[in-house]
Chain A
Amino acid sequence: MKINKMWIPVFLLPTVVLFLMIYAVPLVMVFATSLFDYRLNAKDMTFIGFGNYSRLFRDPDFFQALSNTVMWILIQCTVHVALGTVVALILYKRPKGWKFVRTAYMVPNIISNAAIAMIFLNIFNPQFGVINSVLKAARLEHLTRNWLMDSRTSFVSVTLIWVLFAGYTTTLVLAQALSIDDTIIEAAKVDGASPFQRDIFVVLPLLKKVIGTTMVMAATYMLQMFDLIYITTNGGPGKATTNLPLLLYSVYKGENNYGYANAIGVCIVVIGIGAMALINKALKVNQEEY
């Protein structure tokens, strides 16, 4: 087959330009500018080496944001992924209405986070929100509170906005489970394994790889989480629900301290790559697989 090689660079050009402009150049810039004292104006940049990083280690807000971020990644990789997997394990036997459940469970994952945030802002609303309305109806008025802005409940309330919506995980794990060869499950049946044993010892190990993928996705999602928190609590009360992207945004927009904001950006990149490597190693998922 003779291909005119002239066309190869032409076909690659748009993608390469997009990659350079939005990924490569910004990535280099985030590392480079994190080494400068860089506020407001690029002309006044001075090289300070790791000065921004040493400020990170003295900044209590950073540690709060870091621990919240790590906490949310852990919750999402365990509770959220486990919930999605359990639902997939129920659905793969094709019970009545399994397709409907799969579709319905995806709905919160495909609508915009801004809408989800607005909805939960109202579900948790202290005056007419669903939770307080139900509590009042049950004569438990002493339990009503401003769920998102009460420092005792804000972290849990914010977590509830995403942790239960495991539609993506269910869809991915389900697709893999449905493609398992029936003869494997039949063989286990012949060997006398109960349905529960079949799920745990036969099906689940075959899903290890896809569960690893969903964990990586969950971790990246939480590492980048911004909109849901920004709209509902904006990181408050105090810094109770701030994570690294929110801290980056507040340093960037609030303080106009771009060098420091980009040092936080470098942390996010490093944590992202680290988390991915860790999950891959823990589950021995080959990096090439997804």
Chain B
Amino acid sequence: MKKYTLCVLKYLLLVICVCVALFPIVWVFMSSFKTNAEILANGVSLPKSFSLKGYQDALTISPILRYFGNSVVITVCSTGFNVLFLAMAAYVFARCTFSGKNLLYFILSLSLVIPMTALLHPVYGVILKIGLYDTKAGLILVYTALNLPMSLLILRGTFLSVPKALEEAAYVDGANFVRTFFQIMLPCAKGGLTSAAVLAFLNSWNEFTFALVLTSGQKARTLPLSLSYFTAQFSFNYTALFAAVTIAVFPSIAVFAIFQEQVVSSLTTGAVKE
């Protein structure tokens, strides 16, 4: 009897966790098809009719498409740069020997323990100084750097696990360092590269604080910022607001659904193992 109760309690906890996790998203998605009057009358009722007016409104009353485009450019560029640069560095740390290597690796991995929100003003100062305030390039630079510690950790581990014989064969065949890296090592490290890229993508797509501080106009602002702009300006069109939230979360959920195994394995390699 005791065993039976315990089993029921376990499943109950799991069901509650799933409901708590999914309810907000489901609620928003559902509400994005309701009319404003329906939402105000009863927050939790099902939509009475299916209407895409919320999405139309979201597109017309705010420059959400533009923000979406900015987000795509900034996220794709910073993810690409991050993975390329960090793969190069991680490869050197995994394979080459040079004096001061361990010290340099230690210093670079300190980036893992620095709380970045503490550096809001100095980072703003640096970006302003190099003339990248309120530009996409500025945010690309910062996001490429923000994902430095995690990618370094994941990619160095990946390269360490690739057998050395592969490179030796390439060198015997006369390939040089750069060619070996791009043609032999990168394809071998595909798993780690995907993991690092997915995490970098999610982080950059969702980032809010630096986007808020480093941009001022529509030129470079990203999707997460457009949501807060919604509360201020159009606080009475809730349907449009819910539609905008749906638009903003869809890419994250899609990327996560497609690369789920990679996210899970990268979290594991990054944080559990080495």
Interface positions, chain B 93-128, Cβ under 8 Å from A, are 95-96, 98, 104, 107-108, 110-111, 113-123, 125-126
Check if A110 sits within 8 Å of B120, measured CB to CB: no
Check if B152 sits within 8 Å of A224, measured CB to CB: no
Q: Once bound together, how far apart are the Cα atoms of A125 and B206, in whole Å? A: 24
Q: Within 8 Å of chain B (Cβ to Cβ): is A114?
A: yes
Q: Within 8 Å of chain B (Cβ to Cβ): is A1?
A: yes
Which residues of B lie under 8 Å from residue A168 when comparing CB positions? 267
Counting chain A residues whose Cβ lies within 8 A of the other chain, the interface size class is 35 or more
Q: Once bound together, how far apart are the Cα atoms of A27 and B113, in whole Å? A: 12
Q: Once bound together, how far apart are the Cα atoms of A86 and B16, in whole Å? A: 13
| Known contacts A165-B21, A175-B264, A266 near B118 by CB under 8 Å | yes
| Interface residue stretch chosen among B47-55, B58-66, B225-233 | B225-233
| Known contacts A18-B144, A26-B126, A265 near B272 by CB under 8 Å | no
Check if B125 sits within 8 Å of A119, measured CB to CB: no
- CB < 8 Å neighbour of A220 from B115, B148, B225, B231: B115
Which residues of A lie under 8 Å from residue B41 when comparing CB positions? 128
Check if B119 sits within 8 Å of A30, measured CB to CB: yes
Check if A115 sits within 8 Å of B249, measured CB to CB: yes
Check if A87 sits within 8 Å of B248, measured CB to CB: no
Closest-CB distance, A29 to chain B (whole angstroms): 4
Query: Across the two chains, which residue of chain B brings its CB closest to A165?
Result: B21
Interface positions, chain A 92-138, Cβ under 8 Å from B, are 95, 100-108, 110-123, 125, 127-130, 132-134
Check if A134 sits within 8 Å of B44, measured CB to CB: yes
Check if A172 sits within 8 Å of B113, measured CB to CB: no
Which residues of A lie under 8 Å from residue B200 when comparing CB positions? none
Q: Once bound together, how far apart are the Cα atoms of A10 and B152, in whole Å? A: 17
Q: Within 8 Å of chain A (Cβ to Cβ): is B202?
A: yes
Closest-CB distance, A241 to chain B (whole angstroms): 16
Check if B267 sits within 8 Å of A118, measured CB to CB: no
Q: Once bound together, how far apart are the Cα atoms of A172 and B6, in whole Å? A: 24
| Known contacts A22-B141, A129-B43, A108 near B115 by CB under 8 Å | no
Q: Once bound together, how far apart are the Cα atoms of A191 and B13, in whole Å? A: 29
Check if A167 sits within 8 Å of B116, measured CB to CB: no
Check if B96 sits within 8 Å of A29, measured CB to CB: no
Q: Within 8 Å of chain B (Cβ to Cβ): is A235?
A: no
Which residues of B lie under 8 Å from residue A273 when comparing CB positions? 113
Q: Within 8 Å of chain B (Cβ to Cβ): is A14?
A: yes
Check if B118 sits within 8 Å of A268, measured CB to CB: yes
| Known contacts A90-B13, A231-B228, A248-B118, A130 near B271 by CB under 8 Å | no
Check if A4 sits within 8 Å of B256, measured CB to CB: no
Interface residues of chain A: helix, strand, loop or mixed (majority): helix
Query: Across the two chains, which residue of chain B brings its CB closest to A173?
Result: B272
Q: Once bound together, how far apart are the Cα atoms of A249 and B118, in whole Å? A: 9
Which residues of A lie under 8 Å from residue B263 when comparing CB positions? 106, 110
Most buried by A among B113, B120, B231: B120
| Known contacts A130-B27, A248-B118, A15 near B148 by CB under 8 Å | yes
Q: Within 8 Å of chain B (Cβ to Cβ): is A236?
A: no
Q: Once bound together, how far apart are the Cα atoms of A290 and B118, in whole Å? A: 22
Query: Across the two chains, which residue of chain A brings its CB closest to B16?
Result: A164
Closest-CB distance, A181 to chain B (whole angstroms): 15
Which residues of B lie under 8 Å from residue A111 when comparing CB positions? 25, 206, 248-249, 252-253
Closest-CB distance, B139 to chain A (whole angstroms): 12
Closest-CB distance, B67 to chain A (whole angstroms): 11
Which residues of B lie under 8 Å from residue A105 when comparing CB positions? 17-18, 21
Closest-CB distance, A189 to chain B (whole angstroms): 15
Interface positions, chain B 228-248, Cβ under 8 Å from A, are 228, 230-231, 238, 241-242, 245, 248
The 9 closest A-B pairs by CB, nearest first: A26-B122, A114-B224, A22-B145, A112-B206, A268-B118, A29-B122, A15-B89, A265-B118, A227-B208
For the complex with contacts A22-B126, A112-B205, A245-B118, 16 further pairs of A-B residues with Cβ separation under 8 Å are A5-B98, A18-B148, A23-B148, A91-B14, A103-B260, A105-B21, A111-B253, A112-B223, A116-B24, A120-B24, A175-B268, A220-B115, A227-B208, A265-B118, A269-B114, A269-B115
A-B contact pairs, 11 of them (CB 8 A): A3-B96, A23-B110, A23-B114, A30-B121, A33-B121, A104-B22, A111-B253, A112-B224, A114-B224, A114-B225, A224-B115
Residues of A within 8 A of B (CB): 1-5, 7-8, 11-12, 14-16, 18-19, 21-23, 25-27, 29-30, 33, 83, 86-87, 90-91, 95, 100-108, 110-123, 125, 127-130, 132-134, 164-165, 167-168, 171-172, 175-176, 196, 210, 213-214, 217, 220, 223-224, 226-227, 230-231, 245, 248-249, 252, 258, 261-262, 264-269, 272-273, 276, 289-290
